[in-house]
Structure 1
Amino acid sequence: MRIGSWTLPNPVFVAPMAGVTDRPYRKLCKMLGAGYAVSEMAASNPRLWNSVKTSRRLNHDGEIDPIAVQIAGSDPDMMAEAAIFNIDKGARIIDINMGCPVKKVCNVASGSALLRNEKQVASILRSVVDVCRQRDVPVTLKTRTGWDRESRNAVHIARLAQDIGIAAITLHGRTRCDLYQGEAEYDTIREVKQTLQIPVIANGDIDSPEKAQFVLEYTKADAIMVGRAAQGRPWIFREISHYLAHGSHLSPPTYGELRDCLLDHLEDHYQFYGEFTGVRSARKHIGWYLADLPDAQSFLPQVNTISSTSEQTRAIAQWFDRHPPNEPIMAGATECASVCQPKNFITKDHEYN
């Protein structure tokens, strides 16, 4: 699959998730088989660009190209300015967020709230595409099927986007009002794919190799995007890619492989965030990795009390020492860990789009 001049190695992508898909996590997912990863949602408001939070989101040091940055906002000029700013920071693809359903985003007429204002959608798309075309940078769009089930307008939005010059569109199979309730539907994605000539990426509830194959075959989409199912299970990308290519399953990771993966992730995470923020923001990842594994439920509350990165690392290593390194982890546990938020870790709400 291609986005602009970029040829991607496989059709299994990482969904942008605020508070999750930071640089260390994107690098890990690419290393474990993801063909493409989009950054966390970055604000278009220039007043926020110098904040610590936004500066981290715009840090792409050492990241494999193409670097894709997602921007969000409701003002066309401000969105164009944000696109230029991020291109100057290293972005090779700009992704426009019109899918985030959280209140604080929709309340400022951004994210999926824009689906109720197609005129504004067109203005934003034109403004961003125009400035990016001058710099030979493709623009993609991530959106939902509509504001609610009675006003699904994804087909019309997709046609509009293609006519304006959007290079690819990612469609989550839910409306904004669905949030993450119920099951994603793929009929709208299928209809959008039948309508467009540009690549279509299917998103929503893809949590296994079999589900990925079903969604690709049913919708005829060019690629699939995995979000929540990759939390604590970044090897899902190689699992899906292998299954799509060969029709067989890879063996599940062993405890030793999981240990190395988690500790390597944490080392990069600590270096990226520093001591104070690193040890605290790592808790959600640790919770996702270990949820429902034997003994983990009694161990996770202890992790939440640790305030030192070295102590956190030591505690995790000691926990893994209780398990034979060559023993495969439980398949059911990894599946649960990928879709269920563990009860015993502390984190803020995330903005999934």
Structure 2
Amino acid sequence: MTIRIGSLELPTGAVFAPMAGFTDASCRHLMADHGAAYTVSEMASAKAITYGDQKSVGLLRDKDPHGIYAVQLFGAEPETLGEAVRIIREKGVQFDILDINMGCPAPKITGSGAGSKLMLDPDLCGRLVRAAVAAAEGTPVTVKMRAGWDGEHLTAVEVAKQCEANGAALITVHGRTREQMYIPPISPEVIRAVKQAVSVPVLGNGDITTAEDALAMIRETGCDGVMVGRGALGNPWLFEEIRAALLGQPAPKAPTLRQKMQTLRDQIYDMCERKGEWTAMAQARSQAIHYMRGLRGAAALRRACATLSHFEDVDRLIEAVYRAQD
């Protein structure tokens, strides 16, 4: 199964989804090293970038990306989006793919008309893509969208057609409306309808936590591949499992508890090296919680994760994990 977007040929595997507060460089590199086809940055505001906000640019900057790397912008004004793309290119932000967020359900994003609010205006979606394509100058532009705004506005097919017509090279569809937020289940039929409506590659997204989930998504929707988000947090080995399944290879050996804890420690250490301990540890709490999934005493261990303040606390947490499993 080969996917081409622009001049890029994507390696076989699942794509790692953008998630605000999670998909920093440390997290992206971890997933790429375990077989993600490509990774996507946290979303950054196009408007903030045009106002000179360096923090927004910093979310996108990666001095040593692992594998194919996409940056994601959100916004609701075509001219502003195009200008933001030109600015990050001028500032030397390196990226292989430019993704436009049309799926975020957070009120602070939709309140500005961006994210999943765009699903109510297919024409505007097309104009946003057109502006981004013009500014990207050959870099593939992709879109991540939802099924629609709510049950009465299932606009994914119409939005996808507009995006394709204006130059989008790939479309990812999260199989829920904004109204559904993250409540299961997803609607495979919406993803299938988008796949049948456009000729560019389509990725299915939502509720993929196992390799079988990925195969089922492809089987049920006909999509070209899958994007995985929350299911991979604390479980980067999921990408190895999905890659093997897509290639028809035997499932890789499951990681040991020691391997999991070493990976947790390495990820947080890398975060501290990149951001400083104060900033990194506040963000590491939510990363660590996902590594507790399925462990004996997980509830107490998750509470311990919420108290992480210094890197040395990570070793105490790991010791508590081992004690709880005895």
Structure 1: how far apart are the matches of 2:174 and 2:305?
34
Please state how far the C-alpha of 1:319 moved relative to its aligned partner.
3.0
TM-score scaled to structure 1, two decimals? 0.86
Counterpart in 1 of 2:130?
Answer: 126
Distance change >3 Å, CA 314–CA 130, structure 1 → 2: same
Structure 1: how far apart are the matches of 2:295 and 2:51?
40
| 1:64 counterpart letter in structure 2 | H
Distance change >3 Å, CA 117–CA 299, structure 1 → 2: closer
Structure 1: how far apart are the matches of 2:21 and 2:304?
22
Counterpart in 1 of 2:313?
Answer: 312
- Is residue 278 of structure 2 the alignment partner of residue 273 of structure 1? no
- Is residue 255 of structure 2 the alignment partner of residue 258 of structure 1? no
**Aligned with 1:172: secondary structure?**
strand
Counterpart in 2 of 1:351?
Answer: none
Structure 2: how far apart are the matches of 1:223 and 1:61?
28
Counterpart in 1 of 2:242?
Answer: 240
| 1:93 counterpart letter in structure 2 | I
- Structure 1 unmatched ranges of 5 or more: 328-353
Please state how far the C-alpha of 1:271 moved relative to its aligned partner.
1.2
Structure 2: how far apart are the matches of 1:321 and 1:65?
33
RMSD: 1.9
Count residues in correspondence: 321
Structure 1: how far apart are the matches of 2:187 and 2:219?
14
**Aligned with 2:68: secondary structure?**
coil
| 1:185 counterpart letter in structure 2 | S
Counterpart in 1 of 2:107?
Answer: 103
**Aligned with 1:151: secondary structure?**
coil
- Is residue 193 of structure 2 the alignment partner of residue 191 of structure 1? yes
TM-score scaled to structure 2, two decimals? 0.92
Counterpart in 2 of 1:24?
Answer: 26
Please state how far the C-alpha of 1:47 moved relative to its aligned partner.
5.5
| Counterpart mapping for 1:48-127 below 5 A | 49-52=52-55, 54-87=56-89, 88-127=92-131
- Alignment check: 8 A CA contact 1:193 1:200 kept: yes
- Alignment check: 8 A CA contact 1:279 1:312 kept: no
Counterpart in 2 of 1:177?
Answer: 179
Please state how far the C-alpha of 1:303 moved relative to its aligned partner.
4.0
**Aligned with 1:171: secondary structure?**
strand
Distance change >3 Å, CA 306–CA 264, structure 1 → 2: closer
Structure 2: how far apart are the matches of 1:176 and 1:305?
32
Structure 1: how far apart are the matches of 2:314 and 2:184?
37
Percent identical among aligned pairs is: 35
Please state how far the C-alpha of 1:295 moved relative to its aligned partner.
3.5
Counterpart in 2 of 1:297?
Answer: 299
| 2:179 counterpart letter in structure 1 | C
Structure 2: how far apart are the matches of 1:219 and 1:49?
42
- Alignment check: 8 A CA contact 2:44 2:73 kept: yes
Structure 2: how far apart are the matches of 1:283 and 1:17?
15
**Aligned with 1:95: secondary structure?**
strand
Structure 2: how far apart are the matches of 1:296 and 1:157?
42
- Structure 2 unmatched ranges of 5 or more: none
Please state how far the C-alpha of 1:213 moved relative to its aligned partner.
0.4
Which structure exhibits the higher relative contact order, with contacts defined as CA atoms closer than 8 Å and separated by 6 or more residues?
1
| 1:153 counterpart letter in structure 2 | T
Please state how far the C-alpha of 1:144 moved relative to its aligned partner.
0.9
